[in-house]
Amino acid sequence: MHRHGYKGRKFNREMDQREALLKGLADSLVKYETIETTLPKAKEVAPYVEKLITKAKKGDLHNRRQVIQGLQTVASAHKLVDEIAPKLKGRDSGHLRITKTILRRGDNAQLAKISFVDDLNEAPVAKAATLVEKKAPVAPKTKVAAAKEKK
């Protein structure tokens, strides 16, 4: 049998199981910002998450719904769109890094750590509370105004 035109790895699973596996790995990556899995799974999930990050950077309603559809939980989708994507604005692509780690003891499978290239803790996101304009300082009360308040 030829392999022409067949993209992706099968992982010895049915199609719906593969999709659920990718959604779960992507969800964990967004939630914990770094995960360790087997090397083929890491190589498969990296372009999947890259596409989600690109959609999250646009941030409009349609792309937000597509990100929600691509991850398992709505909370992680909102985290990707609201917290992670603004920190990655300076980079067009290549948001993820795959690093080989150890061989797993039971089956000697090559494990790999997949994480974001940029340090997400370093670049803070501007919050709504910091954007609120400061009020003008209150002028000290005069003796006449203080006397009127006492009455």
In this predicted model, what pLDDT tens digit does every residue of 72-95 receive, in sequence order?
999 999 999 999 999 999 889 999
User: Which pLDDT band holds residue 58 (cuts at 50, 70, 90)?
Assistant: very high
pTM given for the model: 0.78
What span, in angstroms and rounded, lies between the C-alpha atoms of 135 and 5? 63
Q: Kindly list the structural domains of the chain, giving each domain's residue range(s) and its CATH number in brackets, ordered by start.
A: 15-119 (3.90.1030.10)
Q: Which amino acid type is present at position 105?
A: R
